[in-house]
Amino acid sequence: MFAKVVELYRELGKPPVENASFLVAGDFPRETLALIEEVDRLPNQYGYFEEKEIVGSHVEVEFRLPESESGRFHATVDEFIKATPSLNFGTLPKQFYICDQDYYSGDAAVTPTVMQALLELCRFVRALTLLAAEYRQGPEISGKNRLFFVLAADGKSPAKTLVITISIEERLLKFSLPHVKLLEVMLSEEMKNEIHTEERRAIMRLAIAETLATVEDQAEMFSYLVSHWREVLSKYHHNVLAFVNQYSFEKVRKEIATAEIDHATKLSGVLGDIAGKLLALPVSFAAIVVLRKASTAEEFWIIFGGLVVVSIIFVGVLLNQWLQVKRLKGSFDIIFGQYDESNFPKKLRIPIRTARKNITRQYSILATTFLVFACLAFAPAIGALYVWITKLPSSLIDACLLFAKGLQQ
């Protein structure tokens, strides 16, 4: 219905508005006369004619404009801002008309630049109010939109509460407010369960508090925030990157430490298993002495075969354990192969390099230990063979020597 009043005002040539009424006298087409009659039938809350005289096509009318929630005319944008306290909460009235901009709230085709700036500022206020809701200290009794932000303690000074009283003024419309959508998305319900959403909100609050910390006049805090919004965004992006990188770096550092400890523990476990099994070697060495003292052939060959079997078993155990070490080393290389040192800062490059050196050093020591154990594993069989050779009859030895001499001739 208010749209009909605006339509009539435009049809009558947008006459000057004084004291919430306008006067018109002149000739108008039949369509305008029909619109006058239509508006006259509207409820008085949408305005009414104080005087109306129509003779033929000649019209003389005085119309009292509405001044309620049903609709209101404003001469300028500044007058509209001063007469609309709900703007301080980011809320625009549903029905209004601004004369100097020829802008009606129901117009969808074209929005003047100044109104676009006002609409953007209201979006900003709504998002800012929602962002500061965590620190709101009860309902606002005064009707003013007062936002609370806390500047965290830095070790030198205690935490400080900053109070922003929202007061929209026409002079603020000249400042651009980029990335208001960032605030809206951050505070939307869809982002509520996303990872690090609360952390990002806290970082934004802190960036706002840090920017406003130097403002001494509380009445100027909102205007300072609007004029320095790009500075707030810069602080926010810097702090978010620092937080995300710190989170990622700490995660990678933890993965590196875990992988290093896991592989070191498993390599030590392999060495422990081998050491336990090779404790039987001293017994086999004693069996070599017993072999030399064997009095019968049956006794000799039983002990001889036992020593050879012991060596075969020990060599098989060592081979199996060495293959396990190779698998552990391969898995370590695969895990650490994904960490390219050139892609990480110094504080991560050093742990990666150190972990690789430590595991490689442990692997080298383990390889040397395996070589020594391998020699010891062959010792029982070699000792048994030596005893067998030394116990051969001299005639058989002479025969072997003659046979070898014949082969040479």
pLDDT (tens digit per residue) in 297-324:
777 787 778 778 877 887 887 788 788 8
Q: Could you tell me what percent of the chain has a pLDDT over 70?
A: 81
pLDDT tops 70 at residue 173: yes
- Confidence bin at 400 (pLDDT 50/70/90): low
Residue type, 198: E
pLDDT tops 60 at residue 343: no
Predicted local distance difference test score (pLDDT) of residue 395: 41
- Confidence bin at 365 (pLDDT 50/70/90): confident
Predicted local distance difference test score (pLDDT) of residue 191: 78
What is the pLDDT averaged over residues 18-32? 90
Please give the Cα distance from 116 to 64 (Å, whole number).
29
Question: What tens digit of pLDDT does each residue of 258-289 get?
Answer: 777 887 787 777 777 776 666 666 666 667 76
Question: Of the given ranges (280-284, 373-377, 386-390), which has the lowest mean pLDDT?
Answer: 280-284
Question: What tens digit of pLDDT does each residue of 50-107 get?
Answer: 998 988 889 899 999 998 888 899 999 999 999 999 999 999 998 999 999 999 988 8
Nearest to 263 by CA among 347, 358, 338: 358
Burial class (CB in 10 A: 0-12, 13-18, 19+), 343: exposed
Asked if 17 and 47 touch (Cβ cutoff 8 Å), the reply is no
3-state SS assignment for residue 138? coil
Predicted local distance difference test score (pLDDT) of residue 124: 94
pLDDT tops 50 at residue 119: yes
Nearest to 149 by CA among 199, 93, 212, 192: 212
**What integer best gives the mean pLDDT of the chain?**
81
Backbone angles phi, psi at 162, to 5 degrees: -105, 135
Asked if 239 and 203 touch (Cβ cutoff 8 Å), the reply is yes
Question: What tens digit of pLDDT does each residue of 206-238 get?
Answer: 889 988 988 888 889 999 999 999 999 988 888
> Looking at 65-213, which runs of residues are DSSP E strands?
67-68, 71-74, 97-98, 103-104, 146-151, 160-165
Q: Which residues contact 242 (CB under 8 A, 6 or more apart)?
A: none
150: its two tokens: 């806390």
Q: What one-character DSSP code corresponds to residue 153?
A: P
pLDDT tops 80 at residue 407: no
What is the pLDDT averaged over residues 25-35? 91
Predicted local distance difference test score (pLDDT) of residue 227: 93
pLDDT tops 60 at residue 116: yes
130: its two tokens: 């929602």
Domain boundaries, the chain: 2-71, 123-243, 251-408
Nearest to 329 by CA among 304, 366, 303, 371: 366
- Confidence bin at 394 (pLDDT 50/70/90): very low
Question: What tens digit of pLDDT does each residue of 95-115 get?
Answer: 999 999 999 988 877 889 999
Task: Count each helix (H run) and each strand (E run) in the chain, helices first.
Answer: 12, 9
CATH assignment, 251-408: 1.20.58
Sign of the Cα torsion 123, 129, 132, 134 reads negative
Burial class (CB in 10 A: 0-12, 13-18, 19+), 254: exposed
Please give the Cα distance from 132 to 225 (Å, whole number).
14
Q: Could you tell me what percent of the chain has a pLDDT over 90?
A: 26
Asked if 287 and 280 touch (Cβ cutoff 8 Å), the reply is no
